[in-house]
Each structure stands twice: as C-alpha cells, then as structure tokens.
Structure 1
Amino acid sequence: MSFYTFARAIVKSVIKPLYRIETIGLEHFPKEGGVLLCANHIDNLDPPVVGFTAPRPVYFMAKAELFKNPLMRKLMINIQAFPVKRGMSDREALRTGLKYLKDGEVVGLFPEGTRSKSGEIGKGLAGAGFFALRSNAHIVPCAIIGPYKPFRKLKVVFGPPIDFTEMRNNKVSAEVATEAIMSEIKKLKDQNLR
C-alpha cells in the first residue's frame, strides 16, 4: 500500500463522519485519461476532502511555501502534491502539471488561488485555462458546498466534463477558458445548494 493510499484512508475515516460529507456526481468522473479537476476553495481542508472523494488519485498543485521545510516537503511529495510559486508564471509547475495530464493522471487545482472568506466563488486565475487549453484532458468542475461545521452536512459535487473542443479550436485566451470553468463550478454550486 502506498503512503498516498494509507494517508487517504486515515483522512477519510476522520473527516468524512465529522463533516457528514456527501459526494454527488461520481458517475461523471472519467475512469481513465488525463483529468483536470477544478474546484472552488473555501477552507484549508479542501485538498484532502477533494482528494478522498475523487474516485482516482489526485496530484495537487500546492503553494511553494509548503515545500520549504524538509519534513513538510517530504510529506507533500508523498501525498502527490507539487509546488507552484504564487503571483508569477511558474513554468516548472506548468510543465509538471501538463506532464501528469499527458500521462493520464488527475491534476487537482483551485483556480481562485486562495480561499474565499465569504464562501462566494471568486475569479479564477489563468493557470486553469492554460492547462485546459494545452492538454487534451477531461475538464471536471467540482463544487464544495460548506461551510465546514462539525456534524453539519458538507457536499462535494462533481459535474460532467466540460466540452473544451470549441475553445481549443478557436484558441481562446487562458483567461476566457478559466472563466468558463469557474462558471460551471458556480452553476454546480447553485444547483446543489439545498
């Protein structure tokens, strides 16, 4: 058993009952091929929650600061995270993400880049659109509907993959592509609020 599988099982056994997590839309998740999994960001627990509710292992892009401490760095690598420098175009992170997608893996992103204090879905950064346009991956939107309050239900909703054919053919900008992704996440959230 890999460290990732072990850590996923431990985290799931603690967090799932505590926040009464309900997972919706797993039937939409592609069983194979590269997947760009894009979710809104409301809490520090989002990465582990999306990680154990997704039906396939997820490689998360995480802020570079988390890799500075050697122990933390080892942990991040073992849970399949890779670093991104925030506030700039990090070519190494973009190359790493594209490689995982081309290799048929699942790459998890929070396009907003930071947590939403209000819980409202904010504007996404261009990185998500870049990955969507530069790869042939399935683009799966995911809405986390909180708040994180013990013993209150939290929903994780996976939507059907977004058809990016037209956007790729028309060579739209990464910003426009990200807006389309954020719009789908918002739609998922609005449809599943009750």
Structure 2
Amino acid sequence: MRVAICAEQWLFASVLAAAFDGQGHEVVIATDDPRQLPGMAGRLDVDVCVLDAPPAAVESLFGRGSRPFVVLLADAHDEAAWDAYDRGLADGIVSKACDLRTVSWVVQSVAHGNRIAEGRPTQDRRRTQAADLLTTRELEVLRLVVRGLSTEEMANELGVSRHTVRTHVQQVLRKLGVHGRGKIAGAAAAAGLGEVRDLLTGGHP
C-alpha cells in the first residue's frame, strides 16, 4: 500500500511514516505542508492519504472529485473533523487517542473500500472534553467573544496585547472544533459552558 502522510507537526508525521514503513507499506511522502499533497498524490499514485490537518484543507486539496482515499486523524473534541467524515469529505477517521496499530488497521480497511470511524466519542463526552480543555484565560476570552467585543476591546479588558488575544481566540476555536468567531457561541453552548449559554439567552455576562 502506498501512503502519503501529512501532519501539522513534522515530528508526528515522521513517527507515522516510520510506523507505516515498519509494517511494510511504502510511504511515498511525509510532510507538514498540506500544499504539497494535491499534485504529488496523483503523480506518485498514492492509495491513501493520512491527514492530521483541518478538514477545510481536505476539501480545498481534494474536493469531491477523483482523489486517493483520505483518513483523518482527529482529537476527540474536534467536531469539525468528525463532521467532515459524516459529510463524506474523508473515507475514514480515527481518534488520536487510539494506538498506532488501530490507525494502521483503519488505513488498511479504508484502502480496501470500507468507511470507518474509530474511537468516536459520544456527543456528551465530546462536550465535556471541550469544556475541560479550556484554560481560565481562554474561558475569559470566550465570554468576551460571545459579548461581541473586538480584538482591541478584549486586549484592553484583559490588559494584554492584541497578539495575545488573537492567540487565545485561535486556541478557543481549535478546542471547540469550529472555524470563525461567529460559530464560537453556539459551540460553547453545545459544550455545556453554562455561563456562556446564559449570555446567549439574555442572562447576565
């Protein structure tokens, strides 16, 4: 089986490549840059692309046309990734909490034409994990975003730089599994963050 691997962290990509190579598969490319995949996947006759990348990258790279099989690696709380699988953007998905043997099994099964979601947490569990992963400062930023404050206003409110605010906002987006501030409020309420839910229903900030 010919495998292409792309992970946001190069160390993770190299570990995956070594694991697949050790199991007798041919790793034709391992990269931390998803922009390398579209041309190479076709030119190198890849069977399966294993991606630890935002679902939007899958859609932009491969679309819905002819492409190799795609297996996503996802955090348990990453709703966007599991939703991408449900929408057919990927042929398989496996939780990063699973061991490498399970990842390999999913990839091989997908290569044989099966659709598989392995290690998918229940909805309630995903909500609990998302809420637990937010730091105290990230919760503060979350509440300010829901209140509609701009980056500059949040920086003044918290006494930090705009760059620091943007970093916290990006972390909140990632942990709630959404893209864009406009979706934060709904995701936070769905995650069971009571104080944020109060803001959405007209409670006190």
Find the structure with the greater CA-based Rg: 2
Shorter-chain TM-score above 0.5:
no
Short-chain TM bin? under 0.3
Q: TM-score, normalised by structure 2?
A: 0.26
If asked which structure has higher relative contact order (CA below 8 Å, sep 6+), I would say: 1
Q: TM-score, normalised by structure 1?
A: 0.27
More helix by share: 2
